[in-house]
Structures are given as structure tokens and as C-alpha cells.
Amino acid sequence: MTQQISRPCSDPGHTFVQLVGAGPGDPGLLTIKALRAIEAADVVVYDRLVSDEILALIPASARTMDVGKAPGFHPVPQDDINALLIALARNGGRIVRLKGGDPFMFGRGGEEAIALASAQIPFEVIPGITSAQGCAAAMKVPLTHRDLATGVRFLTGHRRAGEHLDFDWLGLADPGTTLVVYMGLANIDEIAVRLILHGRDPGTPVLAVSRATRCNEVRLSSTLSRIAADAKLARLEAPTLFIIGEVAAIAAVMQRSASFCEGLDLHEDACVAAE
């Protein structure tokens, strides 16, 4: 049986909670809809990945709640965040749940959406630029390319203590697939070794980008066999994203041509202007 899903008319006046994607950090990458939601918010509940420049856009009249940190720097448990959103919504007003990147890309936005729906709280989702897109754009590297990559897979490199990463390693070893690894800093050695063991070329280009699109962005070019050692040597810190695949070699082409384009990097100009 097919079921028709009608598109609800968007009436922000009756939306209690907005799950908003803040993008990878550069405020210029917020959508207009996200910016409007932030500017109209009564309460903003935000994560540790939301950049200071974006937090500065929250009106002084809005109450802000940081659920990315708590005493002892432990994140607030997800169930508590869900309960908080429901309680705030029942209190009334416009609640913005501001999340780094896109709320539905490894952001547990799905769990919040299900909790709100189960509690019959009206909400909407405002997508954000996910960090994969932010990193790709920062490096001027496409994630797909007609000659190099016919597909892309987004993976989490995070695993629970004592567990192995449970992936379809043979599929991931396909040379025509770009792999984008979120939260992979702690396990990039295991990821690289398993990919190589399953047939991915040790010389496959890899890019690591930390704090992409922010003024303190760090970029590293390496190969699959060297990335774990190089990342350690470069002392990369979270948030870092890895792009694995032939497309990553395009970064070198972009770097070579950078000398022709000096002064044209608009984001770097914006960073300098902000200092």
C-alpha cells in the first residue's frame, strides 16, 4: 500500500522547536532560514561544535543553553537533551536547537526529532552544510568526479570502547568510492589498516581537515598507509574530518594553482578582517 505524505504548510508562528543546522563554522555558510530562526529565537539550545561567530548572532534577548558542556566537561546525556527540548516547548516560545553541521548527519538530530514527534511537539528541521561539504569546499576538492569517484560514503569512525568498527570493509575498499570519515581521529589507524587489508591501495590519497571553514583551520595531505602517523605528528585535534579517495589528490592541483590566486581566498580575507 502506498501512503501519500503531504507537505505541511510552513508556518513558523506555530512551530515550537526548530532543529537548525549551524554548518561547519563559517557564519557565511548558514542558510538564510537558519539565520532567521536564530534571530527570532526565545531560547537557543546549542552544541559544542557551533562556532563562536554563529553564537554571536543569537539576540541578547534569547536565553542560551549549552548542552555540549557541563561541569567536568561531560556532555549532557541525549535523553536529558530530548527531555529538555520537550519541556521548553511545552513552556511556549520559539525554541531553536542549534547543531553543528547538519542536524541529521551524525548529529543525533534524528533522536531529537523522534522524541519531539513522540511527545507530539510541532517542530521543523532546517538543514545545515555538513562538515563533509565544508571540508570539500575549503580544500576545493569535489567528493565525486566523473573520472575518479562515482559514489561517496559518509562514515562514523567512532566506536564504543572494546568494540571493533563494524563496516562493510570490502565495499569501502572500492577505489571508485570516496570515503568521508566523521569522528575518526581516534581510530584512523584501524580504519586505514582494515581498508588496506581489504584491498584499498595504500597509496590512496587522504585529506584531513580540522576546524574546517574556521579561521584556525588545519589541513593535512597524506596517503592511506601514512595518515595515522601523519595525523599524530601534526597533532590534529577534534573536530577533524577525513576524505579518503582519488579525489583527495585534487587538493595538490588546487595548491599548485593557489599562487595564481593569492588574495582571492575570500574566507581567509574574512578571517583577517575579523581579527
Ligand X SMILES: C[S@@+](CC[C@H](N)C(=O)[O-])C[C@H]1O[C@@H](n2cnc3c(N)ncnc32)[C@H](O)[C@@H]1O
Quote the CA–CA distance of 222 and 182 in Å, as a whole number.
Answer: 17
Q: Classify residue 212 as exposed, middle or buried by CB count within 10 Å of its CB (0-12, 13-18, 19+).
A: buried
Please state whether 204 falls in left (phi above 0), alpha (psi between -120 and 50) or beta.
beta
Nearer to ligand X, 170 or 186 (CB): 186
Give the containing element (helix H, strand E) for 81. Answer: helix 78-91
Nearer to ligand X, 29 or 173 (CB): 29
Nearer to ligand X, 136 or 224 (CB): 136
Taking CB under 6 A as the criterion, the residue among 131, 177, 187, 222 binding ligand X is 131
Give the number of residues in contact with ligand X, rule: CB under 6 A.
25
- For the annotated catalytic residues, the residue numbers are 47, 69, 183
Range list of β-strands (E), 100-145: 123-126
Closest-by-Cβ residue to ligand X is 101
Residue 212, C-beta contacts closer than 8 angstroms, at least 6 positions apart: 24, 25, 131, 134, 135, 138, 239, 241
User: Least Å distance between CB 3 and ligand X?
Assistant: 29
Quote the CA–CA distance of 171 and 191 in Å, as a whole number.
Answer: 13
User: Least Å distance between CB 234 and ligand X?
Assistant: 14
245 makes contact with ligand X (CB under 6 A): no
Give the containing element (helix H, strand E) for 59. Answer: none
Site for ligand X in 170-189 (CB under 6 A): 182-183
Dihedral angle of Cα 240, 245, 249, 255, to the nearest 10 degrees: -20
User: Least Å distance between CB 244 and ligand X?
Assistant: 13
Taking CB under 6 A as the criterion, the residue among 19, 41, 105, 195 binding ligand X is 105
Taking CB under 6 A as the criterion, the residue among 24, 27, 127, 205 binding ligand X is 24
User: Least Å distance between CB 6 and ligand X?
Assistant: 28
Interface residues toward ligand X, by CB under 6 A: 24-25, 49, 99-102, 105-107, 130-131, 134-135, 182-183, 209-213, 238-241
